[in-house]
Amino acid sequence: MVTIKVAVAGAAGNMGREVVRAVCAEPGLELTAAVDLHGDGGDAGLTAGLGPVGVPLETDLAAALQRTQPNVMIDFTSPHSVLHNIETAFSLGVRPVVGTTGITGPDLEKIRGWSELAGLPAVIAPNFAIGAVLMMLFAARAARYLPEAEIIELHHEKKVDSPSGTAIKTAEMILQTRGNFCRRTVEELEKIKGARGGEMEGIRLHSVRLPGLVAHQEVIFGGLGQSLTIRHDSFSRTSFMPGIIMAVKAVMGQSGVVYGLENLLDLS
């Protein structure tokens, strides 16, 4: 078995610590670098609640990648730094697997350009929970028959971007599936600005940020005399780990930029 060497960016955060634990537990993967803005040089395994793993938690991504030469960089950092991290990884011959949200359409075009220039693939997924991916796929199918939908996403209070990447990706998939649809226009009276949420080509998106939440989303469809709700809940960050491990292994044989975990699932 060929060992895949992995670097984790954002290794001291809630998701990063979970990723460190998952990588260290997975046969065939080896943690070779751990980077975080708050790195203090301590052992990344201890920060993640494991025993020592011999990998220091450092702050300089480029230096860590140059020194350890991993095959893959897993990024769970911030919308403010993720593009720089992806570009850095490509420039040093490392394949990015990215769960950081806040990446826009124009950002994806930049990433595709860097990927082509480097001759390396990447996997970018708004959500690595396999159940969440199935929720998005089921919602896209439902939209063929119930085109009127609204999306409510709920996350912990420290999530920076809104709406979530999952909500945006879900709306994109619904729009691709339902085709041309014109909702009957009503002159709305929004008594408090933003009460109806954001709008993406006729789909309303609502964001909730509260302590105690992890990651949750429901898509509500309305039709003549009926409604349909498709919901997914991540109660623990461990829910994302099987999808992340799948992406790390898959990116070794991919080409170009894969956007969305559904593209790695066998749904035939």
- Which active-site residues does the annotation give? 155, 159
Which phi and psi (to 5°) does residue 156 adopt?
Answer: -60, 160
Contact present, 74 and 99 (Cβ < 8 Å):
yes
Peptide bond before residue 163 is cis, with ω within 30 degrees of 0: yes
Q: Which residues contact 95 (CB under 8 A, 6 or more apart)?
A: 71, 72, 73, 89, 120, 121, 122, 251, 252
**End-to-end CA separation in angstroms for the chain:** 28
Distance between CA 30 and CA 138 in Å, rounded?
A: 35
Contact present, 73 and 89 (Cβ < 8 Å):
yes
